Structure 1
Amino acid sequence: MPTLTGGEIIAKYLEKEGVEYLVGIPGHGSTNLLDAFNDSEVEVIQPRHEEGATHLADGYARASGDPLAVFTSIGPGATNTVTGVATAYVDSIPMVVFTGAPQTHEYGQGILQEIERQKPGDFPSVMEPVTKKSFVVNDVEQLPRVLRRAFQVATTGRPGPVHVDVPMDVQGGAADVEIPEPAETRTHSRPGGDPESVSEAADLLAEADRPVIVPGGGCMLGEAWDEVQDLAEHLKAPVIPTFQAKGIIPEDHELFVGYAGWIGSTAGNELASNADVVLAIGCRFTDMHTSSFEQGVSFEIPPSKLIHVDIDNEEIGKNYPVEVGILGDSKVVTRQLHEAVADRVDPVGTEDNEYYDEIQRLWAEWQELVEERQTDDVPMSISRALASLREALDRDGIVVSSAGQPQEVTNPQFPVYEPRTNISCGGFSTMGFGVSAAIGAKLARPDRQVVDVEGDGSFMMCNQEVNCAVEHDVDVTWLVVNNDGWKSIRNLQVDKYGWDRVLNTPFEEGVDFVQMAESFGVEFSERVIKPENLTETLEEALAHDGPALVEAIVEPDNEDSGAIVTGKWDLADLERDD
């Protein structure tokens, strides 16, 4: 057996896992680990902030389905990862995060950057709520076993981030070890659903007059896009994905009807709330997706009968009662359901099909609402900016977005046509996510155009990662829709309290994003004020060889400037006397 340092064991195991990139910022607590990558096939990417490292790994995994590794030093370098790791955890995105830790003989002595007042070397306690598992490696000989377990946990079942705390002396220590084969610790099949439950669900679907299919992020993680479309086409059932499943079916498909929830489509909410059977696959039924669970707005379960499929038994029946709950992989169970339905009913046709006609009519009505916002007014709407982006972007191009108005408009209004071409933070709704996630997406799919749509506020939270793209020559385009403030929250203030109660959401001093981009080394940066000029500018940015930034000046003072609100979102009202 070869004698390897802890850092070398990590490097060689990442090579066996096929990990392309190690992403992180060095510090005194990780130098022994990093040194091994001077001689590794794994390329090291240098972000400008540890949060950016985790978002980059997140974007890579969403675009490819494969995890990256992140590394940091001890202390604040490690705590800087928490927001990005939590973002990945809530959306079930795999990554493995290595953090430096005190030398084992110094645990609890309060060395530089140690958290130890509750218990020695206590940083793993910070990571426990936002990871599937947090490991501490106390001896270099433990590393091979911990590494294979870390990647097994991160990538199987319901995926998610895993943390590995590696003391400095374990990184530098040496041992005679064998590097394990990853395939030896992986399942070689996906779990199917219980046949009796599948049969019960198929009976409901075959007998339904108004079925709807609601694929969630679990369908994207499980690569169930073909199976979902095949089942929908057999039943002629409308497909109403969650935003984490955006792209699971082409958005110009005759059965796609948009989304349900607070900012869903009118068609999605109408059809979902009037379904007799709802088939939810890999879907969590969150407040945003269900209009805060208010009956009859987005869903009405019951009387709608719910078939709930998920890889995680804790999600089934958590927020709505089920008629049939099926524990299993989204791809396998959806295929089982299609086969069982096909045994019961022939493919449903469209001729003299009143339900199909209703689907087409409702979708056309929604499209008209969206088009009404795509005017050539100056300043332009975000909807108008996105219409130009759709014209400029390849059909298989990837669009990324962070929290705020750009995400509120992109998710329901910007059409995508393939899986893994919409990358957007979901349940944790993290501002600044897209700046670095877009870099990860482009590293994962260098053959695709990648555009990150950011608000000015969100962009400024992680703008330093533009310099990471410049250094590594990653060909990403940022579209910054600038409305001078936190206007998503401003609009909530106006809606709840009135214009005279707006506080701390507009920006008093603007930022020159073109100049900012130039200072980071971006060679293409343009500002667009007139909407008729935006498509051509975006086409030039996408054709540019290297990172590019386009700033679009959008309307700042319209309380309806963000999403088209079609559902409800309960944020609690003030209890006070007027």
Structure 2
Amino acid sequence: MAHTERMTGAEAVVKTMEMQGIEYAFGLCGHANISLLDALNDSSIEFLSVRNEGMAVYMADAYYRASHKVAAVITTLGPGLTNTVTAMADSLMDSTPLLLIAGDVPNYLIGKGALQEVSNTTLGNQWEILRPVTKRSWRVPDVADVANSIHRALNIALTGNPGPVAISVPMDFMGEVQDFEIEDPSLHRANGFRVRGDSVAIEESAKILSESERVMILAGNGVLLSEATDELIAIAEHLGAPVATTMVGQTAFPKSHELNIEIPNSIGNPAVHHAMQTADTVLVIGSRLSEFETNSWNTEVGFDPWNRQKLIQIDIDTETIGRVFPVHQGIVGDAKSVLSDLCASLTDISESKWPETSAWVSVLQGQLEDWRKMVAERELNDDTPIDPYRVVAELRKVIPENSIVHVDPGTVVRYMVGQQLTLDTPGSYYANQGFGSMGACMATVLGSKIACPDKTVIAFMGDGGFTCEMSPIITAVEHGLPVVWIVLNNQAFNSIEIYQHRHYDHRIYGTTFKDHTGGLTNTDFAAIARACGALGFRVERPENLASTLQEAISSNRPCVVEVMSDTMRYVKTYGWFEANRIFSEEAEYKRDRNVETSDLLKDPATSAR
């Protein structure tokens, strides 16, 4: 179960990583991690070098979501570590486990101002920078503890509500030679991760659900992390209950299933919001019930467990239960285990309602069908610049089955992709929605492609997100990763510009891309891709979309498809986003103030006329 080997600290780290089953590490070299890179060079772990440490984190995040295998991120100290902060926050908010190993100053030089040292508040405290954005982070205290720290970190990352863990390792520990005890990983983890829910709470929940007439289910990312799609389908069909999913959890329930009513948020569709307001019982599985999934917790247009509904919440994280809404039953446990037990309890006390549908569900399905007809009409738009709805529609014609589609938070297309494409395979839709950092998809597609080399992997991005970090194009070329980035070039931060059109009387300021003369810029992103060694296409007419997208997908090379697209001044919404109320009240005050000012400035004689 354990043996002793004489080796360097870095070799002990890598050996332990191999025993833990880690197959890939992503990162960037520096003087504080060069020993670790040398050890990786003699290991079975494949190291992929990137040009920015944050992009390495995004790759590890997407790699896990596509494979459910943990990858490592390797950084140097100081700026190498700080470059990961935003991406680590994304992984934490979306519950993605990964292991970050950062080099640190030599232990005996702490506090002396070593190169790139962070020791301002306490000595050797660079790891504290990551405390708010990780499940746990710490500095390895002793060279003898480097191997055990890997076991401990992965145990923390994978158990309970999963998430990223970071350890900071002094560079002298990496190079020191001694006898290290290398232990089997099984000695440092529980026998299983499937936490079963309380049996009494499950039985009570089954009784509530079986006696309810209008049950709605909201499935979150926890269903995907637990691989509980089959159990979710069984529950939904037994209850005849419509299923909505969170943005991140969209493929937890098949898009093509008749009971799928899609995503609830400020855009959404009329059916899902009608269900939120009229359901008598809501079953929430693996969701934090964040602002986007709850209409900013507005009980008039969303859930109301205080007055209208009973709420049953299932989550692996104790703190999530009852945090924003009162619960009638709060079950702490793994989604797959709890749903399996809940389904068994339901089967014991009630008959399956599927495939018959209630009058309530039929109303929802009719609303959804009418809404889809409206979307289908928008998809036929022949205008130029090209309507984003048309872009997604043309992709639907050529995208292979079981592809993985990534959407960047910086574009409103993130809603359309999930709504317009039929993505049935769990994990085939990727969004970093919890923290929502723009530009992440430049790198996340690479992680998915590494995990699933036989699948087509595509990213939808705006030009704002694309230009946040373009170095992953180079990384894709260097490592031969044929992914496709679809970039909607509307020369604006359009998802924010929309609010200026809606609330600020079209006073556009700071949201469009202009040069020093005031004209819109016309950056050629396709040319940038070609300069990096990838393919690059620019599409200006909608009739050329399908053929260009097909060529990009079939090329087996990294490819940027730049689409000259229309700015979306208005997006049809059905839900509530609290920011709109804040903007609206501000705009109303300013309009009233401007009217009053205008009246004071008027000539009395002119006013009389």
Range class of TM-score, shorter chain: over 0.9
Rounded Cα–Cα distance in structure 1 between residues aligned with 2:186 and 2:482: 33
Kept after mapping to 1: 8 A contact 2:482/2:557: yes
Percentage of matched positions with identical amino acids: 36
Q: Give the deviation of 1:352 after TM superposition.
A: 6.9
Partner residue, 1:208? 212
Kept after mapping to 2: 8 A contact 1:69/1:97: yes
Residues 190-339 of structure 1 mapped to structure 2, 5 A cutoff: 190-302=194-306, 303-339=308-344
Residues 52-201 of structure 1 mapped to structure 2, 5 A cutoff: 52-189=55-192, 190-201=194-205
1:543 partnered with 2:550: no
Any idea what SS the aligned residue of 1:383 has?
helix
Q: Give the deviation of 1:298 after TM superposition.
A: 2.5
What is the RMSD computed on CA atoms of the aligned residues? 1.4
Partner residue, 1:377? 383
Q: Which of the residues 353, 356, 364 maps onto 1:359?
A: 364
Q: Deviations over 1:216-251 (max 9, x none)?
A: 111111111110011101111001011111111211
Partner residue, 2:524? 512
Partner residue, 1:29? 32
1:566 partnered with 2:574: yes
Kept after mapping to 1: 8 A contact 2:271/2:365: no
Q: Which of the residues 339, 347, 367 maps onto 1:342?
A: 347
Q: Give the deviation of 1:84 after TM superposition.
A: 0.7
Rounded Cα–Cα distance in structure 2 between residues aligned with 1:383 and 1:301: 35
Any idea what SS the aligned residue of 2:353 has?
coil
Rounded Cα–Cα distance in structure 1 between residues aligned with 2:267 and 2:185: 42
Amino acid at match of 1:438: V
Quickly say closer, same or farther: Cα 1:496–1:173, change in 2 above 3 A. same
Kept after mapping to 1: 8 A contact 2:250/2:262: no
Any idea what SS the aligned residue of 1:4 has?
strand
Kept after mapping to 1: 8 A contact 2:195/2:333: yes
Partner residue, 1:464? 471
Q: Give the deviation of 1:192 after TM superposition.
A: 1.0
Rounded Cα–Cα distance in structure 1 between residues aligned with 2:503 and 2:35: 54
- Deviating above 6 A after TM superposition, structure 1's stretches of 4 or more consecutive aligned residues are none
Q: Give the deviation of 1:188 after TM superposition.
A: 2.6
Q: Give the deviation of 1:273 after TM superposition.
A: 1.7
Q: Which of the residues 500, 505, 510 maps onto 1:498?
A: 505
Rounded Cα–Cα distance in structure 2 between residues aligned with 1:174 and 1:387: 59
Q: TM-score, normalised by structure 2?
A: 0.92
Quickly say closer, same or farther: Cα 1:104–1:32, change in 2 above 3 A. same
Rounded Cα–Cα distance in structure 2 between residues aligned with 1:369 and 1:341: 38
1:392 partnered with 2:398: yes
Kept after mapping to 2: 8 A contact 1:401/1:433: no
Amino acid at match of 1:286: S
Amino acid at match of 1:513: F
Rounded Cα–Cα distance in structure 2 between residues aligned with 1:519 and 1:175: 48
Rounded Cα–Cα distance in structure 1 between residues aligned with 2:180 and 2:89: 33
Q: Give the deviation of 1:410 after TM superposition.
A: 2.4
Q: TM-score, normalised by structure 1?
A: 0.97
Q: Give the deviation of 1:452 after TM superposition.
A: 0.7
Kept after mapping to 2: 8 A contact 1:137/1:164: yes
Q: Deviations over 1:45-93 (max 9, x none)?
A: 0111111111111111111111110011111111001011111001110
Amino acid at match of 1:521: G
Kept after mapping to 2: 8 A contact 1:255/1:359: no
Rounded Cα–Cα distance in structure 1 between residues aligned with 2:324 and 2:415: 23
Quickly say closer, same or farther: Cα 1:88–1:177, change in 2 above 3 A. same
**Mean CA deviation greater in 201-210 or 376-385:** 376-385
Quickly say closer, same or farther: Cα 1:373–1:182, change in 2 above 3 A. farther
Q: Which of the residues 408, 414, 423 maps onto 1:416?
A: 423
Kept after mapping to 1: 8 A contact 2:240/2:357: no
Kept after mapping to 1: 8 A contact 2:90/2:435: yes
Any idea what SS the aligned residue of 1:428 has?
coil
Kept after mapping to 1: 8 A contact 2:92/2:134: yes
Kept after mapping to 2: 8 A contact 1:263/1:412: no
Partner residue, 2:409? 403
Kept after mapping to 1: 8 A contact 2:294/2:302: yes
How many residues were matched structurally? 573
Q: Give the deviation of 1:266 after TM superposition.
A: 1.6
Q: Give the deviation of 1:10 after TM superposition.
A: 1.5
Kept after mapping to 2: 8 A contact 1:148/1:182: yes
Rounded Cα–Cα distance in structure 2 between residues aligned with 1:128 and 1:505: 33
Q: Give the deviation of 1:350 after TM superposition.
A: 4.3
Amino acid at match of 1:130: V
Rounded Cα–Cα distance in structure 1 between residues aligned with 2:198 and 2:114: 53
Rounded Cα–Cα distance in structure 1 between residues aligned with 2:329 and 2:319: 14
Rounded Cα–Cα distance in structure 2 between residues aligned with 1:253 and 1:421: 16
Rounded Cα–Cα distance in structure 2 between residues aligned with 1:122 and 1:177: 26
Partner residue, 1:429? 436
Rounded Cα–Cα distance in structure 2 between residues aligned with 1:14 and 1:474: 24
Kept after mapping to 1: 8 A contact 2:410/2:439: no
Q: Give the deviation of 1:293 after TM superposition.
A: 0.9
Q: Deviations over 1:8-57 (max 9, x none)?
A: 11211121122121111101111111111121111110111111111111
Q: Give the deviation of 1:510 after TM superposition.
A: 2.2
